[in-house]
């Protein structure tokens, strides 16, 4: 629960750095899980009281989250949770699709039997979560499945880039999750594992890329979400001077009806 994360101080003395890390972790999880909604005000005085710290680590934490694209800070206006920017989500989906597709292709050429055993176990847990209608549990297993794949490649920078992109997509995926999407995701995960087991890099690459393509089915996209909850999402357009300008809710819904459905992966 967010209240527990925000109000449970650790015992003993804390450095500013340690306090900042703790605040960043708690706020990031609350924002990504949508416990703190997009557009919500982040009051520094309230946060300092809840965390039992001075204003400095709170300010530092908010600046870090701003750098991650999760918080907007406006001078004289305060801090708010960033709206879900669909343009950024497209870019992060591109990064994930490209890097993860190449990663599973590499894994297919390695024939790592211990990895295959772990992947099979993950699939069993995912299936159990679907049968139990455990949406939170399935989401966590989904993240673990992809991290298992990207970690097995052994490239730290690639993993860091994928993790950063995943973090920026997580709010979209949580907003749009459904039992149907979970069932489709499980089938796609099984296809990825089957291709790795068969030692077929091309099939593994295609199976990973297919997660984004299959998510474009009608009725399953971000366009629907924009129409239902337009206050949580935004697109960004640019004027001739290249200054960001927020689009209207109606144009958001129209622009998200096609390609944006791929964000469900």
User: What are the residue boundaries of the structural domains of the chain, listed by start?
Assistant: 2-82, 85-222
Instruction: For residues 35 and 26, give the distance between their C-alpha atoms in angstroms, rounded to a whole number.
Output: 11
The CATH code that applies to domain 2-82 is 1.10.10.10
**Cα 101 to Cα 248: distance, rounded to the nearest angstrom:** 35
Domains 2-82 and 85-222 share a fold: no
pLDDT of residue 111: 85
Instruction: For residues 106 and 196, give the distance between their C-alpha atoms in angstroms, rounded to a whole number.
Output: 9
Q: What is the per-residue pLDDT for 15? A: 53
Contact 117, 124 (CB under 8 A): no
Give, in words, the CATH class of 85-222.
mainly alpha
d(CA 36, CA 27): 8
* pLDDT, tens digit (0-9, with 9 covering 90-100), for 189-242: 999 999 999 999 999 999 999 886 554 443 445 455 555 555 666 654 323 343
Confidence at residue 69, expressed as pLDDT on a 0 to 100 scale: 86
The pLDDT of residue 33 is 85
Question: What is the C-alpha R_g of the chain?
Answer: 20
How far apart CA 215 and CA 57 sit, in angstroms, is 40
Cα 134 → chain centroid = 18
Contact 80, 42 (CB under 8 A): yes
pTM of the model: 0.71
Q: Which residues contact 112 (CB under 8 A, 6 or more apart)?
A: 152
The pLDDT score that the predictor gives to residue 180 is: 85
Task: Give the span between the Cα atoms of 180 and 132, in whole angstroms.
Answer: 14
Question: Rounded to whole angstroms, how far apart are CA atoms 246 and 248?
Answer: 7
Taking the CB of residue 185, how many other CB atoms lie within 10 A of it? 24
121-to-136, 181, 193 alpha-carbon distances in Å: 18, 20, 11
Beta bridge mates, 71: 81
Q: Could you read off the pLDDT of 66-79 as tens digits, one per residue?
A: 988 899 998 888 89
Q: Which residues of the chain have pLDDT under 50?
A: 1, 4, 7-14, 215-220, 222, 236-265
What is 120-180 written as a DSSP string?
HHHHHHHHHHHHTT-HHHHHHHHHHHHHHHHHHHT-HHHHHHHHHHHHHHHHHHHHH--HH
Cβ atoms of residues 172 and 90 within 8 Å: no
């Amino acid at each position: 629960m967010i209240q527990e994360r925000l109000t449970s101080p650790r015992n003993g003395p804390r450095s500013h750095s340690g306090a900042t890390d703790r605040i960043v972790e708690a706020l990031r999880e609350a924002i990504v899980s949508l416990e703190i909604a997009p557009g919500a005000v982040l009051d520094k005085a309230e946060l300092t009281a809840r965390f039992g710290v001075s204003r400095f680590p709170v300010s530092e934490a908010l600046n870090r989250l701003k750098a991650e694209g999760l918080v907007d800070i406006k001078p004289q206006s305060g801090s708010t949770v960033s709206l879900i920017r669909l343009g950024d989500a497209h870019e992060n989906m591109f990064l994930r699709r490209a890097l993860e597709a190449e990663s599973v292709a590499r894994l297919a050429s390695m024939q790592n039997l211990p990895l295959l055993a772990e992947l099979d176990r993950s699939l069993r847990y995912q299936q159990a979560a679907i049968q139990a209608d455990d949406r939170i549990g399935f989401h966590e297993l989904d993240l673990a499945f992809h991290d298992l794949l990207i970690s097995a490649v052994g490239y730290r920078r690639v993993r860091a880039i994928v993790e950063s992109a995943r973090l920026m997509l997580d709010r979209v995926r949580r907003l749009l999750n459904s039992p149907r999407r979970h069932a489709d995701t499980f089938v796609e995960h099984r296809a990825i594992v089957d291709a790795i087991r068969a030692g077929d890099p091309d099939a593994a690459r295609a199976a990973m890329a297919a997660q984004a393509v299959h998510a474009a089915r009608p009725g399953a996209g971000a366009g629907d979400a924009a129409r239902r909850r337009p206050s949580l999402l935004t697109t960004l357009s640019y004027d001739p001077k290249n200054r960001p300008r927020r689009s209207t809710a109606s144009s958001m819904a129209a622009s998200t009806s096609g390609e944006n459905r791929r964000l469900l992966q």
